[in-house]
Amino acid sequence: MSNLKEIRTRITSISKSMQITSAMKMVSAARLKKSQERIEKMRPYAEKMSQLIADLSANSENKGGLTQQAEGEKTLFLFLSSNKGLCGSFNTSLVKYLEELCKTSFTKTKNEVLCLGKKADPILRRKGFSIIDVNTDIIEKPNFEESSLISEKIMTDFLNRKWEKVFLVYNKFKNAAVQIPSHEQLLPIQKIENNEQKKSSYEFEPSSEEILEDLLPNSIKIKTFKSLLESIASENGSRMTAMHKATDNAKELQEGLKLSYNRQRQAAITGEILEIVAGAEALKK
């Protein structure tokens, strides 16, 4: 049985850990509020852009460039993870999702991974994935300009036939407690077929092909940036939830140790009283 000094030391240690996890929970909650506001503002714009691309694609016969479909063996996964830990299963669940995705749908392709965020990199390497690069700065300071540079590089490599397909792999934000591992095709851009009535309801000046040529690169940049914001909001939500659970667990453990400490202390006091009584009785005899 642990002595009283050891229990006091453990209680003090747990109390300090609880202060840290509680502080991290509050910081994550503040960051979550900001990142949640950003993604909620970004989603309608991204959805409207996708709808516009669909309308233009229905009136266009262009099948080249960023929309060119090709069957090949080279696939790139743009994997969005975190730079820091203590965020529950945020990274590991997404790695498992990619692993399962490759086993089911990409068994005959040469798969490469571009990591945004460093935490998933060593896990993916251990599992045998080919990592071509790791970008950590974009996670620390997410902005559209830096995200656009990454998108432009990917588009250039795609047009040079370095990869036949590019997919985004990220945690989609639902709420603070729920993040959904997801994947989405980034390139080539998939055209959504509309009905004939929709096709005949627009007149374009200049042509729909020229408008698409300008809008398609922007749609890729917007989709990439939206996924980045989704991932960051998910990370903050996952970390807040993990720190909340850690704080609750520490509090429960601390209360258990305090109860054990009080019991042992009471037993020690009772033992001392019994010894004094026994000594007094012995002196009377």
Q: How many Å apart are CA 95 and CA 169, to the nearest integer?
A: 9
> Is 3 inside a domain boundary?
no
Across the chain, what does the average pLDDT equal? 88
Residue 215 has pLDDT above 90, yes or no: no
Confidence of residue 193 (pLDDT cuts 50, 70, 90): low
pLDDT at 2: 57
CA distance 68 to 73: 15
Rounded to a whole number of angstroms, the distance between the first and last alpha carbons of the chain is 36
Per the CB < 8 A criterion, the answer to whether 113 and 130 are in contact is yes
Q: Which amino acid is at 206?
A: P
- Is residue 28 one of the residues assigned to a domain? no
Q: pLDDT-derived band of residue 79, with 50, 70 and 90 as boundaries? A: very high
- Buried (b) or exposed (e) across 181-201, using 16+ Cβ within 10 A? bbbeebbbbebeeeeeeeeee
Q: Give the pairing type, strands 179-187 and 165-173.
A: antiparallel
* Cβ-Cβ contacts under 8 Å for 211 (sequence gap 6 or more): 56, 204
Distance CA 91, CA 98 (A): 11
pLDDT > 70: what percent of the chain?
A: 91
196 has pLDDT over 50: no
Query: Looking at the predicted structure, is the pLDDT value of residue 140 above 90?
Result: no
Contacts with 170 (C-beta within 8 Å, 6 or more apart), sequence order: 79, 80, 94, 181, 182, 183, 184, 227, 228, 230, 231, 234
**Confidence class for position 35, pLDDT limits 50, 70, 90:** very high
Q: Examine residue 81 and state whether it is found in any structural domain, yes or no.
A: yes
Count of domains forming the chain: 1
Q: In this predicted structure, which of 58-67, 75-84, 114-123, 232-241 has the lowest mean pLDDT?
A: 58-67
Residue 213 lies in a domain: yes
Tell me whether residue 268 is in a domain.
no
Rounded distance, CA 272 to CA 90, Å?
Answer: 53
Task: State pLDDT tens for residues 93-107.
Answer: 999 999 999 999 998
Residue 213 has pLDDT above 90, yes or no: no
Residue 105 inside a domain? The answer is yes
The boundaries of the domain holding residue 130 are 39-241
Cβ neighbours of 120 (radius 10 Å): 25
Q: Is the pLDDT reported for residue 285 higher than 80?
A: no
Residue 69 lies in a domain: yes
Q: Which residue has the tokens 């429960």?
A: 252
Instruction: Report d(CA 66, CA 77) in Å as an integer.
Output: 17
Per-residue confidence at 178, pLDDT binned at 50, 70, 90? very high
Per-residue pLDDT averaged across 53-79, rounded?
Answer: 78
Contact between 118 and 136 under an 8 Å Cβ cutoff? The reply is yes
Domain-located, residue 10: no
Q: How confident is the model at residue 66, as a pLDDT?
A: 83
DSSP line for 86-141: -STTHHHHHHHHHHHHHHHH-TTSEEEEEEESSTHHHHHHHTT-EEEEEE-HHHHS
CATH of the domain at 97: 3.40.1380.10
| pTM of the predicted structure, to 2 decimals | 0.86
Percent of the chain with pLDDT over 90: 62
Q: What is the average pLDDT across 144-171?
A: 94
- The sheet that has 74-80: what strands, in order across it? 130-135, 110-116, 74-80, 165-173, 179-187
- Summarised one tens digit per residue, pLDDT across range 248-283 is 999 999 999 999 889 888 888 888 888 888 877 777
